[in-house]
Amino acid sequence: MGFVCVKGSTEFVPMYCGTSSALVAGALAVYDVSTGASVSPVIDATASLLAENVAGVVAATPAAGDTMVKIIPIKGQIWEYDCTSTPSTAMLGKCNDLTNSTTVANSTTISTANTAFVRNLSISGPAAAKKMLGFILGGQDAIAN
């Protein structure tokens, strides 16, 4: 399922993704600054990429061969997201990294690295569902986690 906006704007903007995109709806996307191109394409986020490069959440899976993707920019929305572990109240308020572009590696340990992508606010539904609500950190928010 990935990231789903539960409060805030879901307006999207088209962004360049190149033709070899593996982006899917609900995935967190980041700017691929490794290319050195004047226009950085967006790619799916991984645990090794920097949160400061967050572009937003993919609104719709691009069709094969598409070079543009619809991205919901991060503007303080509250998001529901899938988690690797069963959430607990000890995880609330913590900043966590990603497992992959659609799943958070939730933990009771605060990630102080610049790879922390979310701040957990609450458990969503039964704990066994492995879902939480929180903010996506990006840009300056990521640096000040």
Residues forming a β-bridge with 134: 79, 120
Domain count, the chain: 2
Q: Indicate if 48 and 68 belong to the same structural domain.
A: yes
Nearest-CA neighbor of 14 among 55, 75, 65, 64?
55
Same domain, 85 and 44: no
Flag whether 62 is in a domain: yes
Q: Which of 16-30, 35-49, 55-69, 122-136 has the lowest mean pLDDT?
A: 35-49
Q: Is 2 within the bounds of a domain?
A: no
The residues near 15 (Cβ < 8 Å, ≥ 6 apart) are: 29, 41, 42, 55, 56, 68, 69, 70, 71
Judge whether 3 lies within some domain.
no
Q: Do residue 16 and residue 48 come from a single domain?
A: yes
Residue whose C-alpha is closest to residue 27's, from 120, 111, 99, 129:
99
pLDDT tens per residue across span 55-113: 999 999 999 889 999 999 998 899 999 999 999 999 999 999 899 999 999 999 888 77
> Does residue 68 sit within a domain?
yes
User: The tokens of 44 are what?
Assistant: 């799916």
36/82 same-domain check: no
pLDDT of residue 145: 43
The pTM for the full model equals: 0.89
Residues 53 and 107 in one domain: no
Residue 66 shares a structural domain with residue 82 = no
Residue 135 lies in a domain: yes
Asked if residue 97 and residue 50 are part of one domain, the reply reads: no
Domain with 20 in it: 10-72
Q: Residues 21, 41: one domain? A: yes
Same domain? 84 vs 139: yes
Measured CA to CA in angstroms, residue 65 lies from 20, 21, 32, 36, 91 at distances of: 7, 8, 18, 22, 40
Pick from 14-18, 44-48, 92-96: least confident = 44-48
Long-range contacts of 60-63 (CB under 8 A, 24+ apart): 60/12, 60/25, 61/23, 61/24, 61/25, 62/17, 62/21, 62/23
Residue 1 lies in a domain: no
Measured between alpha carbons, how far is 114 from 13 in angstroms, rounded to an integer? 25
Three-class SS state of 35: helix
Residue type, 8: G
Cα separation of 121 and 45, whole Å? 21
pLDDT at 52: 81
